[in-house]
A and B are shown apart, each in its own frame.
Chain A
Amino acid sequence: MLAAIEGKGRIRPDGLSKVTGSLKYLTDLSFEGMLYGKVLRSEHPHARITSIHTEKAQQLKGVAAVITHEDIPGLNGFGLIFPDQPVLCDTIVRYTGDAIAAVAAETEEIAEQALSLIEVGYEPLAVVDDPEKALLPHSPKLHPDGNLLHQTSYIQGDIEHAFHCCCFLVEETYELPRQMHAYMETEGGVVVPEENGGITVFMGTQHGYKDRFQLSRILDIPEERIRVISSPMGGSFGGKDELNVQPHASLLALKTGRPVKIHQTREESLRAGLKRHPMKITMKTGIDEQGLLLAHQVRILADTGAYSSLGPAVLDFAVEHAAGPYLIPHVKTEGFSVFTNNGVSGEFRGFGGNQVTFALESQMDRLAELIDLSPLEIRKRNVRRAEDRGPMGQRIAPANGAADVLESIDRHKDEIEKAAQPADSATWIKRGTGMALTMHGGGLGYGRLDGSGGRLEFSREGKIEVYFGFEECGQGLLSVIETIVTDELQCAPSDMVIVIGDTARVPHTGSSTASRATSMVWNALQRMKGEFSSLILQLASDVSGISVHELKLGEGGIWKTYADETLPFIHYRDLAENVFSDPITVSTIFDFPTTPDPVPGGHFLYAFAAVLAEVEVNLLTGKITVTRLDQAVAAGPVISRLGYLGQIEGGGVMALGYTLMEDAAMEEGLYIPRNFDSYLIPTIKDVPLEMNVEAIEDLYDGDIYGPRGVGEIGTVAAAPAITKAIHSAMGHWITKLPVSPEEILSAVNERGLLSWKRNK
Chain B
Amino acid sequence: MDMKEDSQVLFIPQTPDEAAAMKQRLGQDACFVAAGTFLQLQWNERKSHPRFIISLEQIKELQGLQLYDGYLEIGSLTHLAEMKKTLSSEGDSILAEAITQIASPAIRNQATIGGNIMSKKGDLIPLLLALDAEIAFLTDSGTFRQSLLSWIKQKEESLLLTHVYIPHISISRLEEVSHTFFRKIGRRESFIPSLATICGSFSRDIEGRIIHMRLAVGGGDHPAERLFNTEKHVIGRKINEDLLEQVYQSIIEEFTPEKNPFASAEYLQMAAANLAAAELQSFCLEKTI
Contact = CB atoms under 8 A, between A and B. Distances in A.
Given A620-B278, A677-B193, A661 B289 contact: no
A621 B274 CA distance: 7
B188 A685 contact: yes
B261 interface: yes
Given A426-B286, A683-B191, A678 B262 contact: yes
B187 interface: yes
Nearest to A745: B270
Interface string B217-261: 000000000000000000000000100110110000000000001
B267 interface: yes
B248 A757 contact: yes
Contacts of A672: 261
A620 B187 contact: no
B275 to A, nearest CB: 5
B275 A620 contact: yes
B190 to A, nearest CB: 4
Contacts of B274: 428, 619-621, 745, 754, 756-757
Given A680-B188, A686-B188, A756-B245, A745 B271 contact: yes
A290 B161 CA distance: 73
Nearest to A672: B261
A756 B244 contact: yes
Interface string A729-752: 000000000000110010001000
Given A426-B286, A665-B261, A755-B244, A683 B267 contact: no
B247 A685 contact: no
B78 to A, nearest CB: 24
A622 interface: yes
B192 interface: yes
A428 B188 contact: no
Interface in A345-368: none
Given A672-B261, A756-B244, A686 B189 contact: yes
A425 interface: yes
A424 B191 CA distance: 29
Contact of A661 (B187, B266, B288): B187
Nearest to A112: B47
A661 B241 contact: no
A309 interface: no
Contacts of B171: none
Interface in B262-277: 262-264, 266-267, 270-271, 274-275, 277
A745 B272 CA distance: 12
Nearest to B289: A755
Interface residues of A, number: 30
Nearest to B241: A755
Interface residues of B, number: 32
Contacts of B275: 620-621
A754 B249 CA distance: 13
Contacts of B267: 622, 741-742, 745
A685 B190 contact: yes
B187 A426 contact: no
A756 B188 CA distance: 26
A680 B188 CA distance: 8
A493 interface: no
Contacts of B264: 742
Nearest to B279: A620
B289 A682 contact: no
A625 interface: yes
Interface in A611-640: 619-623, 625
B120 to A, nearest CB: 18
B187 A756 contact: no
A497 interface: no
A622 B267 CA distance: 9
B282 interface: yes
A425 B192 contact: no
Contacts of B277: 754, 756
Contacts of B266: 742
Interface of A: 425-426, 428, 619-623, 625, 660-661, 665, 667, 672, 677-678, 680, 682-683, 685-686, 741-742, 745, 749, 753-757
8 contacts: A428-B274, A620-B278, A665-B261, A680-B192, A686-B190, A742-B266, A756-B245, A757-B245
5 tightest CB-CB pairs across the interface, nearest first? A685-B189, A620-B274, A685-B190, A742-B267, A756-B244
Given A680-B187, A683-B190, 5 more contacts: A428-B278, A667-B261, A683-B188, A745-B267, A755-B244
